[in-house]
Amino acid sequence: MGPVPRTLELFYDVLSPYSWLGFEVLCRYKNIWNISLQLRPSFIAGIMKDSGNQPPALLPRKAQYLRNDVRLLGQYVQVPMHLPKDFFSVILEKGSLSAMRFLTAVSMEHPEMLEKVSRELWMRVWSRAAEKAGMSSEQARGLLEKISTPKVKNKLKETTEAACKYGAFGLPITVAHLDNQTHMLFGSDRMELLAHLLGEKWMGPVPPAINARL
């Protein structure tokens, strides 16, 4: 038997474009590195409030920088990222609570579909995501009915609180459990450092085995 896979937890919110970038990179490496990737849907607004942080949209210069940064990073990481014109109003007004409760319900009822449904939530309006990910309409309706249940609400709250306990002040964060130590890495641009901690090889955001399929 080979070495036991190291556990990586990815805390993310579909409202965060940087979460999508980190999500895709880690999903590409999960079968290359000796890791066990655990996807942890979280609520970014709760983390912001707990840490005293603010969304970039509240600071005009950050908002302007983010638009260009996300566009360039999307090209580099090969993620089809196109921010809607009303992206920042969505952050401030609509938020992501329902979407993250939906993903929490998916993680509880159909964990094998969490990766696909999460991806579709970034790519489409979340009410269409389940069908695109291969989930039946009956399954989707069942999950939608559960997003307001105490069980789902409490699970999302617990996951968000866990991220806060690790020291999160935004998303994504990747938590690596290595040799009885816990390392919390913020953002989608710490993959080289993560590879170093894991003792693995970093081959860029699109490793050769994946690049051949894209």
Residue 204 lies in a domain: no
200 or 138, greater pLDDT? 200
Dist CA 214 CA 58 (whole Å): 36
Instruction: Give pLDDT, residue 126.
Output: 34
| Average pLDDT of the residues in 1-20 | 91
Residue 214 lies in a domain: no
Q: How many domains does the chain have?
A: 1
The pTM score is 0.90
Instruction: Give the domain range for residue 115.
Output: 6-198
| Average pLDDT of the residues in 104-132 | 80
pLDDT tens, residue by residue, 12-53: 999 888 999 999 999 999 999 999 999 999 999 999 999 999
Instruction: Give pLDDT, residue 127.
Output: 35
Residue 209 lies in a domain: no
Helix 191-198 to helix 17-29 angle (10° resolution) is 30
Residue 1 lies in a domain: no
Q: Where residue 185 falls among pLDDT bands split at 50, 70, 90?
A: very high
| Average pLDDT of the residues in 189-206 | 97
Residue 20 lies in a domain: yes
Dist CA 37 CA 29 (whole Å): 9
Residue 205 lies in a domain: no
Q: What is the CATH number of the domain that holds 155?
A: 3.40.30.10
Residue 207 lies in a domain: no
Dist CA 73 CA 207 (whole Å): 16
Q: Where residue 214 falls among pLDDT bands split at 50, 70, 90?
A: low
Residue 146 lies in a domain: yes
Active site residues: 16
Name the residue with tokens 């170093």.
196
